[in-house]
Chains A and B, each alone.
Chain A
Amino acid sequence: MSALLLQALRKTYKNGFEALKGIDLEVAPGDFFALLGPNGAGKSTAIGIISSLVNKTSGRVEVFGHDLDRDPEAVKSCIGLVPQEFNFNQWEPVGEIVVNQAGYYGIPRALAWSRAQESLARLELWDRRKDQAISLSGGMKRRLMIARALVHQPKLLILDEPTAGVDIEIRRSMWAFLSEINRRGTTIILTTHYLEEAESLCRNIAIINQGQIASNSSMKQLLNQLHNEAFVLNVKQDLSGLEELAEYRWQQLDDHTLEVEVTREQSINGLFQALAERGFEVASMRNKQNRLEQLFIGMVDASRRAERK
């Protein structure tokens, strides 16, 4: 049984825009799954259909064996959703927002308050439970939506850009929190524009573009498709004397910085050795671009070129 199964899922909006062109997707129970794509690719439409916010045109949605058409209540009971936009009553107290949501899932008020305390405390919001939601910062509002989505202990948590606009410190604490609930058995589907986030958290990945699945594999397999990586190196010596660098493609950025492309057949050790032979000592090194970002841009560009043909 899959945590999520989409078969030939299509959505055409009333204005004729075809947001999903028959996508197939399967997510295994316990997975931490990334659903990536550029803006307007169809990610939010797919999430909207899975969570019953958007009516599908055709196709099938199954969540933990429950068919969305035949048993929508069972499907909804399995899902917790953290949407991209803030969608709570800004004038309601924080605690009430979480407790009301629990009530909609049939959780009695006393139990709902104890669950709310648990999730709000874990997300450092319990002290703000009596404050109106409008008084929270952007990061706190995102955490509130996570607490609300978890209050009924869903088997499948869908996060649509959960860390958008959140500072790096809070983002990293949210990653730790999400990893922890995934380890405890909750299946997670994540959409994000921070590709570093997807690469560090997710085990499997689908890339959606122009309403179609452009790629669907494990993160490891996908990253293996990368033919070359660009590195930026800072060297201690002045680079003005460097004229060639074995078989590596390179360019000098300033007196002490150079950018080098390393293909899959080459190695970083070889690069260090080539530099050392020429009298250069590497002080520091970083990827020019996130590996997943590099692949993602390549795939999206290829897909656009194919569409134009």
Chain B
Amino acid sequence: MMRTTRYRVAFQAILIKEILRFSRIWIQTLLPPAITTMLYFIIFGNLIGQRIGEMDGVRYIDFIVPGLILMAVITNSYSNVVSSFFSSKYQRHVEELLISPVPSWVILGGYVAGGVARGVLVGVVVTCVSLLFTDLSIRSYGWTLTVFVLTSILFALGGFINAVYARNFDDISIVPTFVLTPLTYLGGVFYSISMLPDIWQLISLANPVLYMVNAFRYGLLGVTDIPIGVALAIILLFIGVLTTFSLYLLNHGVGIKS
């Protein structure tokens, strides 16, 4: 059998396994983001948003749509990979992959694709929910889709690295709670950074989520606080660094081999 065919089949096997895994537990994986987003729209969009008025020239409820969609994509891409890969370590079924002739990049690709699949599916669910509250019109489909997928890849990689180092279930919730959530909330989901004092605007620029939210907002609404070329370069840079690091960890068996 051709090596490339073998790799493709192995990649598909991991991806199908991942999709079936989160589909089997859809009440835990797909339903909660829909409910949470609906609450955000009702409270921040409708109730508080009406008092805020416009932000960056658009209605507040429309302004928060891109951030809320991306927040769901980030959280779900990350948590899918971190919980799935850590669980495979914990239950030792990662050994099924380690003994098989599957190269590290196919293993990583399969898990990341699984995270992207969940991120995209949840993103679609949240987008559908947002249509109940706003008249969403997409300014650039290409740009929106690109940022959507790249962000999902980036956070799926982050989840993978977290899972490699995690030794117990606490370790897989520490990063989402103490790093991911603050970065997302401070990444301009609910506000424009132009509202912040200069020093906080500068500090905000160190937050990678800010670039993703703004790039995505540009794709949907055509407004952004950041030059979109810079945003794309930052996202790609992070993906490159995290991919290289993840492959290093897998090739050296860090956290999975003795």
Residues of A that sit less than 8 Å from B by CB: 13-14, 48, 51-55, 72-74, 76-77, 79, 81, 83, 85-92, 96, 99-109, 148
Q: Is the CB of B93 within 8 A of A104?
A: no
| Interface: B230 (CB within 8 A) | no
Task: Give the interface centre of B98, B101, B253, B257 by most chain A CB atoms within 10 Å.
Answer: B101
Which B residues are in CB contact (< 8 Å) with A77? 101
Residues of B within 8 A of A87 (CB): 91-93, 95-96
The answer to whether B258 and A106 have CB atoms under 8 Å apart is no
Docked Cα-Cα span, A53 to B5, in Å, equals 25
Q: Does B202 contact A (CB under 8 A)?
A: no
Instruction: Kindly list chain A residues whose C-beta atoms are within 8 Å of the C-beta of B93.
Output: 87-89
From B9, B98, B258, give the contact of A103 (CB < 8 A). B9
| A222 CA / B257 CA spacing, docked (Å) | 35
Partner of B95 from A79, A83, A90 at Cβ < 8 Å: A83
User: 1/0 per position for B1-19, CB-CB distance to A under 8 A?
Assistant: 1000111011011101100
Asked whether, in the complex, the Cβ of B99 is within 8 Å of the Cβ of A76, the reply is yes
Besides A48-B258, A76-B101, A89-B88, 20 new A-B residue pairs in contact (Cβ under 8 A), listed by A number: A13-B258, A53-B257, A55-B257, A73-B101, A79-B99, A87-B95, A88-B93, A89-B93, A90-B91, A92-B21, A96-B17, A100-B13, A100-B96, A104-B101, A105-B6, A105-B10, A106-B7, A106-B9, A108-B9, A109-B16
Give the interface residue-count category, chain B.
Answer: 20 to 34
Nearest-Cβ distance from residue B27 to partner chain A, whole angstroms: 14
Which residue of A has the minimal Cβ distance to B253?
A55
B102 at the A interface (CB under 8 A): yes
Instruction: For residue A131, give the distance in angstroms from its CB to the closest CB of chain B.
Output: 13
Chain A hits for B28, CB < 8 A: none
Classify the secondary structure of B's interface with A. Answer: helix
A-B contact pairs, 8 of them (CB 8 A): A14-B258, A72-B101, A88-B96, A96-B17, A100-B14, A100-B17, A101-B100, A103-B10
| Chain B positions 89 through 125: 1 when the CB is less than 8 Å from some CB of chain A, otherwise 0 | 0011101111111110000000000000000000000
A141 to B99, CA, bound (A): 19
B7: which A residues are within 8 A, CB to CB? 106
Q: In the bound complex, do residue B92 and residue A103 qualify as a contact, i.e. CB atoms below 8 Å apart?
A: no
Residue B20 lies at the interface, judged by CB distance under 8 Å to chain A: yes
State how many angstroms separate the Cβ of B120 from the closest Cβ of chain A. 22
Say yes or no: A96 contacts B20, CB within 8 Å. Answer: yes
Within the assembled complex, what's the spacing in Å between the Cα atoms of A171 and B9?
35
Residues on the A chain within 8 Å of B5, using CB: 106
Which B residue sits closest to A79, measured CB to CB?
B99
Q: A96-B17, A100-B13, A106-B10 are in contact. Are A53 and B101 (CB under 8 A)?
A: no
Residue from B10, B21, B87 with most neighbouring chain A CB atoms (10 Å): B10
What is the distance, in angstroms, from A146's C-beta to the closest C-beta of chain B? 14
Within 8 A of A (CB), among B7-54: 7, 9-10, 12-14, 16-17, 20-21, 24
B91 in contact with A53 (CB, 8 Å): no
Q: Cβ of A99: which chain B residues have Cβ within 8 Å of it?
A: 13
Quick one: closest B residue to A86, CB to CB? B92
B residues in contact with A107, CB < 8 Å: 9
